[in-house]
Amino acid sequence: MRRRHTIALALAAGFALLLAACDTGGPSGDQPSAASVYRHAMDGAPRSLDPAQASNVYAKMLTVSLFDTLYRYKYLARPYQLTPNLAEAMPRVSADGLIYTIRLRPDARFIDDPAFPGGQGRAVTAQDFVYSMKRHFDPKTRSQGSWLWQDRIVGMAQWAERGADYDQEVPGLRALDEHTVQVQLVSPFPQFTHTLAQGFAAIVPREAVEKYGAEFAIRPVGSGPYRLQRFDSSGAVLARNQGFRQQPFSLADEGFDAATQGHLGLEVLEGLVPPLTDRIEVSFIAEDAARWNAFIAGEVDFIKAPVTQFDRILSSRQPAALTAELAEHYQLAANLESGFVHTDFNMDDPRIGRHTDPVQNARNAALRCAIVKAFDWDRRNEVFYYGIGQVFPGIIPPVAEEFDPSNGDEWIRRDLKAARKLLGDAGWHAGNLPELEYGFPSSVTERQMFEQFRSFMGEIGYPPEKIRPLTFATYGDYARAYLNREVMLITTGWTMDYPDAENTMQLFYGPNATPGSNSANYDNPEYDRLYRAAATMAPSPMRTSMYRSMNRLLLDDCATISGISRTLILLWDRNVTMLPDRSFVGGFYFPFVAAAEGEPRH
């Protein structure tokens, strides 16, 4: 009997130890119950919170809340507009567009952390910005954001080649004094200020990076409105940074438009000091059903609604509106994505792309154009995007100011007759059509899209057995294949980094061919010439016209089947006052979210 008691006791002790080991410090454990909490669901998860690796929308949402960037996008202004964040004002730019001088606010401090002497956070200085930028060019950082400034800053490439010694100066990146930085560019780069509003451009303290090494990715130390309390594969918890600078919220400064945003109740926020919510609990819920159930059960305040639910939640598509029952509890925003989905032809593949023989080259062009004309964007939109995506010709998506709404729709309107004629005139028939290899990372949806593509092509006489899927277990494997030019048709998407069409035009710029971002390996001297000429130009009607010409060239060459911008349906609880955004504002809106006080339901 005694032995049994001992075993029972040992088991109980083991169980208690396990419980203690996984104490997550839940809401009841470490904060007053009256604290306001905003519970945000993401449909994916970041793996790293190091700004240098903030390469996806999920990582950016969190990093810009934990760290400071010099600039950000105004919370409410549409089209999107830059505004100073840690900078005192917009940059002073020299007449030749090469020198940017920026003054930092003097009242920003890093959070308290053992990385600092005495554990006390210190002021953010110009040197921190210089250090943070240099980090991107240190191979040890494994930066995923260095491409933004590659060959842009005077002396940076040489600094990296000399061994990336942080004590060595970079001539084009200097701290003029404690709070002033100056950046000298190699050539004018009008998008430079936009790059300073990316998660990649967040400012990190050298002490913390050196203390935590690789673990800095999970132990972020910044000066943003929040500090990290917990981060794992299921979610992250951010708590208000008590030392965050005092900057009262102003509707006018944030670009409030009463006509389109008056129904959101944002007026009550005027004059309040962000961050407006004590705690943000972010859940990473990739599974649509689980995300929807969590939202309906009131466990999260915000979700990007799964497309599978659109049927039951929307009472109308254009404009998107909630059913009356849901509208009682929830708000809706139909957010056109800042990017697009497209399928590129690998122009380096002589079976479908460029060919040294001019006759075959012309036949390949006819084949590509026939495929483009046979693609049914309406059905693609209806089946996969509930018919609320926006189809447009080319690569300047509707969210960009350079978008041309009057652009003809001949490249997105299905025309089977024209497609068949193109094939026939070029001498293509079922017997001699090349085998098409359509690449995609393995998933049910991607497979369904492939099958739909195959059925579209079947309608112009392309034998189904000649269109075969090229699947890859992971996106990384897929990327390796197309970056090594092994995929014939590349299905992909692009999320714009900043609201300037330059960001999408570079996708087809010849020198950016793989392993660069020009995955189609498109190479058109006229397109490249226009790109180079426009690259140093500030936004203007002339530049817009050049971009539109480039778009036209790309369409005429039939280098891509493009494209569609998806409409994201964002839902949130009426108890939370906010305007969510998955686009350029991203996580910059977290400090302005006003959530009700009290305990979550469970």
Partner 1 sequence: MRSVASKLLNGVLLVLGVTFISFLLMVWFGPDQTYTLIGKNASPEQIEDVRRQLGYDQPFWQRYGEYLRELATLDLGASNASGESVRALLARTVPVSLLLMIPGFLLGNLLGIALGLTAARHRGRWGDRVVTVLSVTAMSISFLVVIIAFQVLLSTPYGLDLFPVRGWQVDGFVSYLQYVTVPTLALVFVTVGYNTRFYRALFVEEYGKDHIRTARAFGAPERLILWKHVLKNSMVPIVTRIMFSIPLVVISGSLLLESYFGIPGIGQATFEAITSGDQPVLKAVVGLTAVAFVLIQTATELLYRLLDPRVAR
Q: Write out the residues near partner 1 by the rule CB under 8 A.
A: 15, 18-19, 21-29, 47-48, 50, 53, 55, 139-140, 142-147, 150, 213-218, 232-235, 283-287, 289-290, 293-294, 296-297, 299, 473-477, 479-480, 483, 506, 512, 515-517, 602
295 vs 428 by CB, closer to partner 1: 295
Q: Please state the closest distance from residue 262 (CB atom) to partner 1, in A.
A: 30
What tokens does 314 get? 């929307």
Question: CB-wise, 244 or 508, nearer to partner 1?
Answer: 508
Cβ-defined contacts of 409-414 (< 8 Å, 24+): 411/372, 411/555, 412/377, 413/377, 414/373, 414/374, 414/375, 414/376, 414/377, 414/378
Residue 281 or 404 having the CB closest to partner 1: 281
Say if strands 339-345 and 390-391 run parallel, antiparallel, or are unpaired. Answer: unpaired
* Shortest CB 205 distance to partner 1, Å: 17
Cβ 199 to partner 1, closest distance in Å?
12
Residue 294 vs 334, nearer CB to partner 1: 294
Rounded to a whole number of angstroms, the minimum distance from the CB of residue 299 to partner 1 is 5
To partner 1, the closest distance from the beta carbon of 339 in angstroms equals 13
Cis peptide before 29 (omega within 30 of 0): no
Compare residues 261 and 517 and give the one whose CB is closer to partner 1: 517
Name the pairing type of β-strands 302-304 and 567-573: antiparallel
Least distance (Å) between residue 17 CB and partner 1: 8
Nearest CA among 503, 548, 496 for reference residue 527: 548
Pairing of strands 279-284, 302-304: unpaired
From the list 102, 62, 75, 63, the residue with the least C-alpha distance to 86 is 102
Query: Nearer to partner 1 by C-beta: 4 or 263?
Result: 4
Q: Which amino acid is at 548?
A: R
Asked, as a colleague might, if the bond just before 275 is cis with ω within 30 of 0, I would say yes
Q: Measured from the CB of residue 70, what is the shortest distance to partner 1 in angstroms? A: 20
Query: Which ranges of 377-440 does DSSP label H, i.e. alpha helix?
Result: 377-385, 416-425
Q: If residue 159 lies in a helix (H) or strand (E), which one and from where to where?
A: helix 156-161
Residue indicated by tokens 């849901």: 326
Instruction: Compare residues 89 and 214 and give the one whose CB is closer to partner 1.
Output: 214
Q: Going by C-beta distance under 8 Å and a sequence separation of 6 or more, which residues neighbour residue 94?
A: 100
Shorter beta-carbon distance to partner 1: residue 47 or 429:
47
Minimum distance from CB of 282 to partner 1 (Å)? 11
Rounded to an integer, what distance in angstroms lies between the CA atom of residue 415 and that of residue 153? 48
Cα dihedral across residues 330, 334, 339, 345: positive or negative: positive
Among 293, 225, 522, residue whose Cα is nearest residue 394: 522
Q: How many residues in total does the chain contain?
A: 602
Query: In terms of CB distance, is 44 or 424 closer to partner 1?
Result: 44
* Nearest distance from C-beta of residue 501 to partner 1, angstroms: 16
Evaluate whether 543 touches 537 at the Cβ level (below 8 Å). yes
Whole-number minimum distance, CB 224 to partner 1, in Å? 19
CB of 481 to partner 1, least distance (A): 9
**What DSSP assignment string belongs to 65-106?**
HHSB-SEEE-SS-SS--EEESSBSSSPEE-TTS-EEEEEBPT
CB closer to partner 1, 1 vs 21: 21
In angstroms, give the least distance from the CB of 281 to partner 1.
9
Residue whose CB is less far from partner 1, 144 or 223: 144
Q: Measured from the CB atom, is 137 or 411 closer to partner 1?
A: 137
Q: How far apart are CB 486 and partner 1 at their closest, in Å?
A: 12
- Contact between 366 and 423 under an 8 Å Cβ cutoff? The reply is yes
Torsion-angle region of 151 (φ positive above 0: left; ψ -120 to 50: alpha; else: beta): left
Per the structure block, which two tokens stand in for 450? Answer: 């492939």
Nearer to partner 1, 184 or 512 (CB): 512
DSSP code of residue 235: E
